[in-house]
Structure 1
Amino acid sequence: MRRRDFLATCTAAAGAAALAVVRAGQCAQGATSEVAKYAAWRRFADTPFGRVAYVEQGTGPAALFLHGFPLNGFHWRGSLERLAPHRRCIAPDFMGLGYTEVPDQQDLSPQAQADMLVALLDRLQVSSVDLVANDSGGTIAQLFVARHPARVRTMLLTNCDVHENCPPPQMRNSINAAKAGTYDQKMQRHLDDPVYARSEKGIFGSAYMTPANVADAAIEYYFNPLVASPRRKAQLNRYLAELESNPLLAIEPALRRLKTPTRMLWGTADPLFPITWANWLDQALPGSRGVRRVEGGKLFWPEELPEVVADEARALWRV
Structure 2
Amino acid sequence: MQRREWLKLTIGTLATGVLAGLRPDVAEAKADAEAAAAMVIDTPLDAVAWHAARRYLKLPQGRIAYVERGAGAVALFLHGFPLNGFQWRGALERLSPYRRCMAPDFLGLGYTQVTEGQSAAPDAQVEMLIAFLDTLDIGQVDVVANDSGGAVAQLLLVRYPQRVRTLLLTNCDAEIDCPPPALKPVIELARKGQFVAQWLTPWLADHVLARSPQGLGGMTFTYPQNPSGEAIDMYLRPLVEHPDQTHAYALGLDANVLAGVEATLKQRNTPTRIIWGTGDTIFSAESPGYLDKTFGNSQGVRRVPDAKLFFPEEFPDLIAEEARRLWGV
TM-score normalized with structure 1 length? 0.87
Matched, 1:247 2:257: yes
Q: For residues 139 and 123 of structure 1, what CA distance do their matches in structure 2 show?
A: 23
2:204 aligns with 191
CA deviation profile, 1:158-199 (whole Å, cap 9, x unmatched): 000001201101111111000111111111111111111000
Question: Does the C-alpha gap of structure 1 residues 34 and 137 become closer, same or farther in structure 2, counting only changes over 3 Å?
Answer: same
Question: Does the C-alpha gap of structure 1 residues 85 and 143 become closer, same or farther in structure 2, counting only changes over 3 Å?
Answer: same
2:102 aligns with 90
Q: For residues 131 and 116 of structure 2, what CA distance do their matches in structure 1 show?
A: 19
1:209 aligns with 222
2:246 aligns with 236
Supply the AA of the counterpart residue of 1:211: P
Q: Looking at CA atoms only, which structure, 1 or 2, has the larger radius of gyration?
A: 1
Supply the AA of the counterpart residue of 1:274: S
Structure 2 gaps of 5+ residues are 1-43
Structure 1 gaps of 5+ residues are 1-31
Alignment counterpart, residue 281 of structure 1, candidates 284, 291, 298: 291
1:300 aligns with 310
1:136 aligns with 148
The residue correspondences of 1:12-161 to structure 2 (distance < 5 A) are 34-161=46-173
Residue 284 of structure 1: how far off its partner (Å): 1.2
Bigger Cα displacement from structure 2, 50-59 vs 204-213? 204-213
Q: For residues 176 and 164 of structure 1, what CA distance do their matches in structure 2 show?
A: 21
Supply the AA of the counterpart residue of 1:182: Q
- The answer to whether the 8 Å contact 1:268/1:274 transfers is no
- The answer to whether the 8 Å contact 2:217/2:226 transfers is no
Q: For residues 162 and 233 of structure 1, what CA distance do their matches in structure 2 show?
A: 27
Supply the AA of the counterpart residue of 2:260: A
- The answer to whether the 8 Å contact 1:267/1:275 transfers is no
Residue 255 of structure 1: how far off its partner (Å): 0.8
Matched, 1:227 2:240: yes
Could you say what secondary structure the match of 1:286 adopts?
coil
Aligned length: 285
Residue 317 of structure 1: how far off its partner (Å): 0.3
Bigger Cα displacement from structure 2, 274-283 vs 289-298? 274-283
Q: For residues 206 and 184 of structure 1, what CA distance do their matches in structure 2 show?
A: 17
Supply the AA of the counterpart residue of 2:283: F
TM-score normalized with structure 2 length? 0.85
Could you say what secondary structure the match of 1:89 adopts?
strand
Residue 33 of structure 1: how far off its partner (Å): 8.0
Q: For residues 63 and 45 of structure 2, what CA distance do their matches in structure 1 show?
A: 25
Q: For residues 305 and 60 of structure 2, what CA distance do their matches in structure 1 show?
A: 42
Could you say what secondary structure the match of 1:46 adopts?
strand
Residue 200 of structure 1: how far off its partner (Å): 0.2
1:256 aligns with 266
Q: For residues 167 and 212 of structure 1, what CA distance do their matches in structure 2 show?
A: 28
Moved over 3 A (4+): none
- The answer to whether the 8 Å contact 1:133/1:141 transfers is yes
Identity %: 49
Supply the AA of the counterpart residue of 2:65: A
Supply the AA of the counterpart residue of 2:315: L
Q: For residues 125 and 184 of structure 1, what CA distance do their matches in structure 2 show?
A: 36
- The answer to whether the 8 Å contact 1:62/1:89 transfers is yes
Q: For residues 120 and 198 of structure 1, what CA distance do their matches in structure 2 show?
A: 34
Supply the AA of the counterpart residue of 2:206: D
